[in-house]
Amino acid sequence: MPVFYGTDLSSRMMLGTAQYPSPSILAQAFRRSGAGIATVSIRREAGGDRAGADFWDLIRDLGVAVLPNTAGCHSVREAVTTAHMARELFDTRWIKLEVIGHADTLQPDPFGLVEAAQILTEDGFQVFPYCTEDLVLCDRLLDVGCQVLMPWGAPIGTGRGLNNVYGLRSLRAHFPDVPMVIDAGLGLPSQAAQAMEMGFDAVLLNTAVAKAGDPAAMAEAFALAVQAGALARDADPMEPRDMAAPSTPLLGQAVLS
């Protein structure tokens, strides 16, 4: 199981908490998925003495680790300020760092991401950066103190799966000992299984589960796929071949002529 900043997790599934039809369905999805981490946007908790209190009570009742995020932040200053608010509110050093650079694709701003990650790491945060599969960007994030990487599979909410399989494989191979989570873009359980087969440590989902016709069932389907993918990877799967190879030996066959 993955270890993030010295914390052992009981699950390779991480779930977001937005867009569910109701709080009860959100809770059902978490129970059936066995997810070990809930990502929570600080923006849900803004304004008023009891604003967001019921939601926060629900998250605590799930009994999972909380990973607050800086979702929707488009500048370093905004992301850093939001991270400090999250640390005070949730009493955790963990922060999922998002610094969005492109409004249509929600692609991370690589320059702002590295700058914000350095500021937060130096201030004692344990940063989970939402990034692309770019090797140079990821190397810079590790240089400034990040110990986990969260590359996207595809743009947030698209459900397109693993858009750049070559790039993701290269990233995984280049940093074999760095915990990595596929974050964003997964739409089907088969895509989560593929990510695990490629050697990633966990997946983070939200839209694919929350917007399904039956979110709880979809959460369980993803959990089973993640388990299957991890088992397949650990079983040392065969490599693809260019030529056919008979599964039945030719020697010893009966001669029918």
Q: Which residues are catalytic?
A: 96
Q: Residues annotated in the binding site for 1-deoxy-D-xylulose 5-phosphate, as ranges?
A: 157, 184-185, 206-207
Counting the structural domains of the chain, the total is: 1
Give the CA-trace dihedral at 16, 137, 95, 169, to 10 degrees: 40
Contact between 82 and 42 (Cβ < 8 Å) = yes
pLDDT at 235: 93
pTM above 0.75, yes or no: yes
- 103 assigned to some structural domain: yes
Q: Residues annotated in the binding site, as ranges?
A: 157, 184-185, 206-207
Tell me which residue range forms the domain holding 133: 6-235
pLDDT tens-place values along the chain, 257 residues long: 889 999 988 899 999 999 999 999 999 999 999 999 999 987 644 444 445 667 778 888 888 899 999 998 999 999 999 999 999 888 899 999 999 999 888 899 999 999 999 999 999 999 999 999 999 999 999 999 999 999 999 999 999 999 999 999 999 999 999 999 999 999 999 999 999 999 999 999 999 999 999 999 999 999 999 999 999 999 998 888 888 887 777 666 666 66
Find the CATH number of the domain harbouring 94: 3.20.20.70
- 97 assigned to some structural domain: yes
Would you give the distance in Å from CA 18 to the centre of its chain? 15
- 252 assigned to some structural domain: no
